[in-house]
Structure 1
Amino acid sequence: MKRSNTQKLKDALEDDIINGRLMPGARLDPEELALKFGVSRTPIREAIQQLAVSGLVTVEPKKGTFVAKVGIEQLIEMFEVMAELESMCGRLAARRISAVELANLASALARCEEAIKQGDSDEYYYENEDFHNCIYRASHNAFLAEETRQLKQRLKPYRRMQLQVRQRMVNSMQEHREIYEAIESGNADRAEDRLRQHVLIQGERFSDFASSVKKFSLQAERAVEEAKG
């Protein structure tokens, strides 16, 4: 899936923030970013706007753009809501999906399989995103679909981060197959349950996710202490 300069820049900045190369409180200088990534001011402005929607940066008028602090409690709450919205989309899709929409969902599933073979977590994420968007559209509830997309956009950096955990891509792919089978067979209860479990962060996944976020927070705290010293 070809990505625009804005998307590539946003992904790079997300990775820098999530992995601690850009610490909370760090200022994003548009001119420095333009030189570093070899792009114009337009994709920088668009990328910063999208990062602000995700909650990774804050834009302060007349001061600039700064990396935000991540709160794991709020993230978990957002994932809980996301799981319920996705499960509703799955239930409705199992009842309402058309033949054309089912074919599109099967195609998205096949592209996810191909990204798995390539071992590319970013490519898998974007094909995964299309897979989920097919389900949103198939719910035939425009309001629900839009609310789900908006929250998914805010959680995007952390959903991408999850895919970097060992075996998560493979497990995610198996969950996609089960979701597809439930929707294809018209089993609304199973589609609802499979999507909820696919998105919820619990058990071992919670431990892995919490560990990643805590690691990020500790790196930030050390950077602050070093700056003071």
Structure 2
Amino acid sequence: MSARMSSIRAQDDAECAPFGQDGLRSAAPTLAEKLRGELETAIAAGRLEPGSRLDEQEIAARYGVSRTPVREAFRLLAASGLVELRGRQGAVVRSIGAHALIEMFQVMAEMEGLCARLAARRITPAQMDKLRAIHEKLEQVATLKDIDLFYDVNQEFHEALYEASANAFLADQTRRLRNQVAAYRRRVTRMPTRISDTLREHAEVIAAIADHDAERAHKAMRDHVNLLGDNLLDFLAAFG
């Protein structure tokens, strides 16, 4: 059993005593929240595909916990839009129709565009260096033809942008929406020109932020995320 699984199992034993000596509930994540995080990561990474059934008993056995926190984790995932609860059928990773996905991408494009706008006004020199370093790393990864690794490093770039916005609420909401569509964004990354387009578009975002041009940064990031023109055609091809 891995150290992470052992930690989760140990917390299952402690869930029966969630209150401290002062009578207040601990601020530490609950067991269900930790399980939710594990499953959310698996969904975002594509290890759990849309439409996949989540086996309550198998997950409980895998993490060495009772089924109660697993059920609660499913409810948390359903509340965040990642899972559907289907009564006796159990929990299923949410599948999203093409029309709904396009709408979600439109909203996400505006949210990430706002992150870029704020970053252009608020970014620190250290954060600017970090953004450039991740972009250089992404350029190197692109030569390896490893799409999954490219996708993961690309997420680092977006996370760095959220951080540079200096707006924790915006970053959290953008991240939540991104996780809902992560499996589909990963598909788009596999389209023939997507990697080269991503590098070019990231460079435009970086240049605008470095110039502290909020309007240009917003537009560059919004267009990067939004499904317009060839991006929309690529998406529909990948979705099909």
TM-score bracket, normalised by the shorter chain, equals 0.7 to 0.9
Count residues in correspondence: 199
- In terms of fraction of residues, the more helix-rich structure is 1
Matches within 5 A, 1:15-164: 16-17=49-50, 24=51, 27-29=53-55, 40=63, 52=78, 55=81, 57-60=83-86, 63-164=89-190
Q: 1:9 to 1:142 in 2, by over 3 A?
A: closer
Distance 2:46 2:105 in 1: 23
CA contact (8 A) 2:80 2:176 kept: no
Matches within 5 A, 1:197-216: 197-213=223-239, 215=240
SS at match of 2:192: coil
Uncovered stretches (5+) of structure 1, i.e. residues with no partner: 18-23, 216-229
Give the structure, 1 or 2, with the largest relative contact order (CA under 8 Å, sep 6 or more).
Answer: 1
Structure-1 residue corresponding to 2:210 = 184
Distance 2:190 2:73 in 1: 22
Distance 1:117 1:48 in 2: 39
Q: 1:29 to 1:155 in 2, by over 3 A?
A: same
CA contact (8 A) 1:56 1:70 kept: no
- Identity score, percent: 36
- Residue deviations 1:40-73 (CA, integer Å, cap 9, x gap): 467xx69978975775542345542224442111
Distance 2:148 2:73 in 1: 17
Uncovered stretches (5+) of structure 2, i.e. residues with no partner: 6-37
Q: 1:64 to 1:172 in 2, by over 3 A?
A: same
- Residue deviations 1:144-167 (CA, integer Å, cap 9, x gap): 222211111112111111101111
Scaled by the length of structure 2, the TM-score of the pair is 0.70
SS at match of 2:91: strand
Cα offset, 1:77, TM superposition: 0.7
CA contact (8 A) 1:53 1:153 kept: no
Matches within 5 A, 1:169-180: 169-180=195-206
Structure with higher Rg: it is 2
Opposite residue 29 of structure 1, the aligned amino acid is D
CA contact (8 A) 1:93 1:183 kept: yes
Structure-2 residue corresponding to 1:194 = 220
Scaled by the length of structure 1, the TM-score of the pair is 0.73
Cα offset, 1:34, TM superposition: 9.2
SS at match of 1:118: coil
CA contact (8 A) 1:54 1:156 kept: no
Distance 2:233 2:141 in 1: 26
SS at match of 2:143: helix
RMSD of equivalent CA atoms:
3.0
Q: 1:163 to 1:211 in 2, by over 3 A?
A: same
Cα offset, 1:133, TM superposition: 1.3
Structure-2 residue corresponding to 1:13 = 47
Cα offset, 1:172, TM superposition: 0.5
